[in-house]
Homo-oligomer: A and B are copies of this chain.
Amino acid sequence: MAKVLMKGNEAVGKAAIEAGCRFFFGYPITPQSEVPEYLSSELPKVGGVFVQAESEVAAINMVYGAAGAGARVLTSSSSPGIALKQEGIGYISNAGLPAVIINMMRGGPGLGTIQPGQADYNMAVKGGSNGDYHNIVLAPASVQEAVDMVMEAFDLADYYGTPVIVLADGLIGQMMEPVEFNYVCKKELAPKTWALTGKGDGEKHMVENLVIEPDECEAWNKKHFETYAKIEANEQAWEEFLMDDAEYAFVSYGTSSRIVRSAIGYLREAGYKVGMIRPKTLWPFPTKAFEKLDKKIKKYMDVEMSMGQMVQDVAYACNDKNKIEFYGRTGGVVPAVDEIVEFGKKVMGGDK
């Protein structure tokens, strides 16, 4: 397929369709409204269903139903809308159902602002709902990557039986870049024999959420954690940018990593041996990337569009919080390249 120039929000909608998703339940919110808008007209064309839910709460519970019914299903929203979905996300996680949730983050907290942000890291990665659970969290840094990750998200969700969150931001949702849709699934997916389809002549299917006996509830939890352990072993993903000779490493994801990439260009020109580790999965966090480097790196420079929500994960990965310097903008501010260059120079000093 030839490349097309698409807005991120529309591209992720198309990606879902390409991935075989036929069901979308969502509620408008800036800066992601083009996702439901696009799908409201495109899904019916392929025999799919678009429902504008009465709220984000309703939307995520529709997703729960459709996922339980065995469908590939998508919802999307932005920060406060995702906060409203937390209970529902917990239910889907508990039931071990596959679903894909896109968050085109904006600045927060609360109503916040509608400009791009990355301050929902904790809500997505640590878990904004009750109980012990994890969701796979993918963090695209371009429209193409958003497309690829949305498509992969459906496979990961089906494969592991867990919600997958695609954590992008308003900038990725609003910008246009050339994209192509040629992701191929590398996993073998089992048929969804557990799905609610009516029992027909067979056994009845149940999707359960209340496990009244603590022992059983714990066993249920532990089963999920076995899955999580597999995911942590197999699915960590990151990009290393100019890390071969690097003595300093930026750590940044999504939109902010693009600013960092530009900044590295300037810093390299100025002679700094600096690269970047760009987590592509936020959960599982790519600790392997850090284990590999270990002592080689003098400082990790964490750059985010938040007040530093990823810092603890970086610290845990490199096991030395003193190695981390943080630079962040928040509230919808996208940092300028210059700021990052300056920050880098300050941290690295004359150390070229």
Residues of A participating in the B interface, judged by any CB pair closer than 8 Å = 57, 79-80, 82-84, 86-87, 90-95, 105, 107-115, 117, 119-120, 122-123, 126-133, 209-222, 225, 306-307, 309, 312-313, 315-316, 319-322, 329-334
10 closest A-B pairs by beta carbon, nearest first, are A108-B131, A109-B131, A94-B110, A217-B331, A214-B332, A218-B331, A128-B128, A79-B130, A126-B126, A91-B110
Chain B residues closer than 8 Å to A110, beta-carbon distance: 87, 90-95, 129-131, 209
Chain B residues closer than 8 Å to A108, beta-carbon distance: 90, 94, 129-133
Chain B residues closer than 8 Å to A331, beta-carbon distance: 132, 211, 214-221
* Contact between chains at B107 and A214 (CB < 8 Å): yes
Q: Which residue of B lies closest to A113 (CB)?
A: B217
Q: How far is the CA of A279 from the CA of B129 in the complex (A)?
A: 22
Supplied contacts A109-B221, A312-B313, 6 more A-B pairs, CB within 8 Å? A95-B110, A110-B209, A113-B210, A122-B122, A217-B332, A315-B319
Chain B residues closer than 8 Å to A329, beta-carbon distance: 218
Chain B residues closer than 8 Å to A332, beta-carbon distance: 214, 217-218
* Contact between chains at A133 and B109 (CB < 8 Å): yes
* Contact between chains at B83 and A112 (CB < 8 Å): no
Chain B residues closer than 8 Å to A131, beta-carbon distance: 79, 107-110, 112, 117, 119-120
Q: Which residue of B lies closest to A309 (CB)?
A: B132
Task: Tell me how far the C-beta of A230 lies from the nearest C-beta in chain B, rounded to whole angstroms.
Answer: 15
Chain B residues closer than 8 Å to A115, beta-carbon distance: 214, 217
Q: How far is the CA of A133 from the CA of B122 in the complex (A)?
A: 10
Q: How far is the CA of A92 from the CA of B80 in the complex (A)?
A: 13
Chain B residues closer than 8 Å to A94, beta-carbon distance: 108-112
* Contact between chains at A307 and B225 (CB < 8 Å): yes
Pairs A–B under 8 Å by Cβ, sample size 6:
A84-B86, A86-B123, A109-B131, A221-B307, A312-B312, A319-B322
Q: How far is the CA of A4 from the CA of B315 in the complex (A)?
A: 47
* Contact between chains at B316 and A312 (CB < 8 Å): yes
Q: Which residue of B lies closest to A64 (CB)?
A: B110
Q: How far is the CA of A329 from the CA of B221 in the complex (A)?
A: 10
Chain B residues closer than 8 Å to A127, beta-carbon distance: 122-123, 126, 128
Chain B residues closer than 8 Å to A218, beta-carbon distance: 107, 329-333
Q: Which of B111, B132, B307 contacts A209 (CB 8 A)?
A: B111
Q: How far is the CA of A221 from the CA of B106 in the complex (A)?
A: 13
Task: Tell me how far the C-beta of A147 lies from the nearest C-beta in chain B, rounded to whole angstroms.
Answer: 24
Chain B residues closer than 8 Å to A210, beta-carbon distance: 111-113
* Contact between chains at A109 and B128 (CB < 8 Å): no
Chain B residues closer than 8 Å to A219, beta-carbon distance: 331
* Contact between chains at A130 and B113 (CB < 8 Å): no
Q: Which residue of B lies closest to A212 (CB)?
A: B113
Q: How far is the CA of A221 from the CA of B307 in the complex (A)?
A: 9
Q: Which residue of B lies closest to A317 (CB)?
A: B321
Q: How far is the CA of A107 from the CA of B94 in the complex (A)?
A: 11
* Contact between chains at B93 and A87 (CB < 8 Å): no
Using known A-B contacts A90-B83, A94-B109, A312-B316, determine if residue A333 contacts B214 with beta carbons closer than 8 Å. Answer: yes
* Contact between chains at B330 and A321 (CB < 8 Å): no
Q: Which residue of B lies closest to A109 (CB)?
A: B131
Using known A-B contacts A316-B315, A331-B211, A333-B215, determine if residue A129 contacts B113 with beta carbons closer than 8 Å. Answer: no
